[in-house]
Amino acid sequence: MTQQELHEVAQGIRSPEEVSMTLAEFLENDIDGYEYVKGELVPMSPPTRIHSQVSVNVIRYLDRHVDENQLGEVHVQATFQVGERG
């Protein structure tokens, strides 16, 4: 996949289903919001509230365990949405 093709997918000019790529290309380009399935980019659904709550609970447990056992630090990537889901 060329940089131009990646740009077109990111800008919504080209459908991700129109672009095939190798797993190595997918991993090299850090493409957010897509999964790699059989050589194609597939848009990921946003997480549900239940998924988010499970994630928070796991992070809390992990952070407490790491802190109590002086194992280092826990870092997470946070996402949020403002407004109603469509």
Domain ranges in the chain are 3-43, 46-74
What is the per-residue pLDDT for 5?
65
54-85 confidence digits (pLDDT tens): 999 999 999 999 999 999 999 988 776 676 66
| pLDDT tens readout for residues 9-20 | 655 555 655 667
SS3 for the chain is CCHHHHHHHHCCCCCHHHCECCHHHHHHHCCCCEEEECCEEEECCCCCHHHHHHHHHHHHHHHHHHHHCCCCCCCCCCCCCCCCCC
